[in-house]
Structure 1
């Protein structure tokens, strides 16, 4: 069979052609356990259809490299780079900031046993930020204390484990979040307890990452008070159980906000969160449901709690912008990237 080819700006060649039309804009589009090798064409297709990425998660499992992704109708100009090594991650960051595109999500996963990074940028996204990668546990904890004291709020806290060593990729922004709670080294039982604790306090999960370290599955999660609404969370799901949960949540008016694959696991498992925004002054909570898989206890990580400051005035965004997803094969170490004043 022939290969898909873009005719944007050109003419369609003569003879029989199968046309892949743009997708109709729904309120969101999500895929889980998506093969990394097929992502490029879907990136181009969905961005050309008027969507932008709101969630991306890289992971390996069952001998393959995969992504989880959530798309929504675009509300401005944006770009994303996915599956790149540390050197290219730094380069694309520098290029984005120079063009006034600023990060809203950063992720790291292991593909073929090597660190691979992803980031989503939006044009003129307001608020100061700081993005760091390749941090040890000690560096990540010290950075948390320093930045929270300066009024920053954690937006993403992604972790990988290579050769028994954890490395953190973290993004902080000055944004409205109300009270928030973050922790990066929880077992499945500890994550269950954290969900219940935060739901009781009126906080919903905003970021989630799952990684395998020393033979155990660990969770990194960020909960925040704003925006207010009702959340559903499940973990330890196989593909069919996730699909069933997705359909049930959709029928009840919930929309998938994030899905994380168990990076480095021998089989594909997922943890996910659905959210339904509340009307003003409404408070709602829902207890997380446990999936079929569980992990044994392991030493807990340090607990970090803080409060956020209000975000700066939002700058109006212009037309949607799309750039290509980027792939690479080399690998480098990481360090502090940048802080914008």
Structure 2
């Protein structure tokens, strides 16, 4: 009887905690686990806000964040496990229906690039999306759209074979004139140095993407110079380290905004951002 009471109390606490929590985060999910979690949370009113794909022993895994909006939510769709052609077909279908991409992350399974993406019908300025870009193609596109007044809103680094590739989203934001900066192809040490430089100048990270190429971890990131709540950033974490940091940081009143999973050899690593 005591054991049953304890189990009931724990279950009740878990349900109350979930109901009171406007966000949920998971990592290391298989494709089936990710879809099952997505179905359960969407049924409870949650919406995916960030998803990254990666592999463990060449098996696709997913790290994701869901939030429970308090107000009106625009129509949205999310897809994962897409090949490049499947992603392009979905992209064409949804954009023709008035959706726009708000997230696209690339990852590699058995040497083939795959994509996870979210689209919604939120309002925005003009936007541009590109994927499967080499480093030089990405830099060229970056320069072109920057000159046309676009702002980089999202970037994902991944690998095809031994070559880094990038997926990115740009948007024209006439009501946002705050300074911003973006970097890619940074080693862990270079990323940390750039991170220190940017934060010392009053910038805050809004996107970080970790990716492995030829056994080396690289990082692409976006910083913005604007006011906002307190934030925390970590990278190069193993699964256990990420879970420890997650528990500590969320215990201090922060919630996750970005989680990027990536693989070096047979080990999965994580880069993440939290905000109060």
After TM superposition, the score normalised by the length of structure 1 is 0.71
Q: Is the 8 A contact 2:111 2:161 kept in 1?
A: no
| Count of residue pairs the alignment pairs up | 256
What residue in structure 2 maps to residue 98 of structure 1? 96
CA distance in 1, matches of 2:234, 2:109: 25
CA-based RMSD of the aligned residues comes to: 1.9
Q: Is the 8 A contact 1:239 1:270 kept in 2?
A: yes
Pairing 1:57-76 to 2, within 5 Å after superposition? 57-74=52-69, 75-76=73-74
CA distance in 2, matches of 1:80, 1:227: 30
What residue in structure 2 maps to residue 263 of structure 1? 263
Q: Is the 8 A contact 1:57 1:107 kept in 2?
A: yes
What residue in structure 2 maps to residue 149 of structure 1? 147
CA distance in 1, matches of 2:102, 2:226: 16
Q: 1:227 to 1:126 in 2, by over 3 A?
A: farther
- Which structure 1 segments of 5+ residues have no match? 1-20, 277-341
- Any runs of at least 4 consecutive aligned residues in structure 1 with deviations exceeding 4 A, and if so which? none
**Worse-matched range after superposition: 155-164 or 178-187:** 155-164
Q: CA deviation at 1:219?
A: 0.7
> Which one has a larger percent strand, Structure 1 or Structure 2?
2
The higher-RCO structure (CA 8 Å, 6+ apart) is 1
What residue in structure 2 maps to residue 77 of structure 1? 75
Q: 1:43 to 1:137 in 2, by over 3 A?
A: same
Q: Is the 8 A contact 2:54 2:263 kept in 1?
A: yes
Q: CA deviation at 1:72?
A: 0.5
- Which structure 2 segments of 5+ residues have no match? 1-14
> Which one has a larger percent helix, Structure 1 or Structure 2?
2
1:49-100, Cα deviation, whole Å (9 max, x unpaired):
1111110111113443211100101433211111101111111111211221
Q: Is the 8 A contact 1:107 1:156 kept in 2?
A: no
Q: 1:177 to 1:185 in 2, by over 3 A?
A: farther
Q: 1:233 to 1:132 in 2, by over 3 A?
A: same
What residue in structure 2 maps to residue 310 of structure 1? none
After TM superposition, the score normalised by the length of structure 2 is 0.86
CA distance in 2, matches of 1:211, 1:96: 27
1:200-220, Cα deviation, whole Å (9 max, x unpaired):
122221111111112211111
